[in-house]
Amino acid sequence: MKKIYLLAILMMVFPCLLHSQDAPPVRLKQINIVKTNYQNYKDGEIVNKTIVFADGKIQTITTSDVIQKFFYNKNGLLDMTVKEKVGSDWKEVINYTYDADNNIIKFVNKYHEGNDYITKTVTFVYEGARIKATTKKSTNHQNLVDDIEYIVENGIIVRRTSRDRNKAIIGKIEYVYVNDNVSKHKGLVGDKISKTYTYDDKKSV
C-alpha cells in the first residue's frame, strides 16, 4: 500500500512541482528498469520493468508476468489503474475520486488475496498544510488498517506520520529535498531506515 499512497500523494503535489521548475519538463516515452533482488552476495533474481508514456503520462508498466494499465479522466487526472498477471485470473483495480478543485479525496483498491476478494478504501482529508490519509479494509468489518498523515509544504511532502488505533505515533519519515527533488528519506520513529537518491544533470533519478 505504501507505493499506492505515494502515487496518490504525488498526483496531488506534482502540479506544484511542475510550476517550480525553471526549464520546461521533459516528456518521456519509455523507461527501462533492470532490478536485481539478491538472495545472497552472489545470486540474484533479475526483474525487467518497462514504463511506457504517451503525452507525458504513464500508459503501462510491464514486467515479465504483470501488466498495469493507466486510464485518465477528461481533466487529465488519473482515473483508474488495472493490474493483471499473465496466465492468471488475478487482478487489481484502483479507482480515483477528486473534489471540485481536482484534489484527490478517495481511491478504492480491489484485488484478490488468496481466496478472498479485498476492497481497501483510502480517504484523504485536507487541513491546511496537512493531508490525512485513512485506510479501511473490507474483509475485517471496515476496521482501521492504516492511519497516515502527510505534511505538505510549498507543494512538496516533508513528513509522513503513521498512528495506531490509539492514535499513538508508530512511524515517522522525514523527506529531504535538493533542487525540488527528494534526496533522502529519514526514518525518525519506528523503522529508522534511510534511503538516498542520486540524480543526473537532467534531474532524472
Q: Is 175 exposed, middle or buried (0-12, 13-18, 19+ CB in 10 A)?
A: middle
pLDDT along the chain (205 residues), means of 10: 52 47 64 71 71 89 92 94 91 95 93 83 86 77 72 83 88 88 86 86 78
105 neighbors 121 (Cβ within 8 angstroms): no
pLDDT in tens, 166-195: 889 999 999 998 887 888 888 888 888 888
Sign of CA dihedral 138, 141, 146, 150: positive
Q: Exposed, middle or buried, 167 (CB in 10 Å: 0-12/13-18/19+)?
A: exposed
Reference 70, options 38, 100, 93; nearest CA is: 93
In angstroms, the Cα distances linking 106 to 32, 41, 48, 166, 201 are 31, 42, 31, 23, 36
> Nearest-CA neighbor of 1 among 147, 179, 128, 173?
147
Q: How far apart are CA 146 and CA 135, in angstroms?
A: 5
Query: What digits encode the pLDDT tens for the residues 19-47?
Result: 444 556 666 677 877 777 666 555 666 77
Residues in contact with 100: Cβ distance below 8 Å, sequence separation at least 6, in sequence order: none
0.85 surpassed by pTM: no
Task: Give the Cα separation of 13 and 16 in Å (integer).
Answer: 5
Residue 180 backbone dihedrals phi, psi, to 5 degrees:
70, 5
Q: Which residue from 182, 201, 184 is spatially nearest to 193, judged by alpha carbons? A: 184
The predicted structure's pLDDT at residue 33: 78
Concatenated DSSP letters for 95-134?
A: EEEE-TTS-EEEEEEEEEETTEEEEEEEEEEEETTEEEEE
- Residue 43: predicted pLDDT: 62
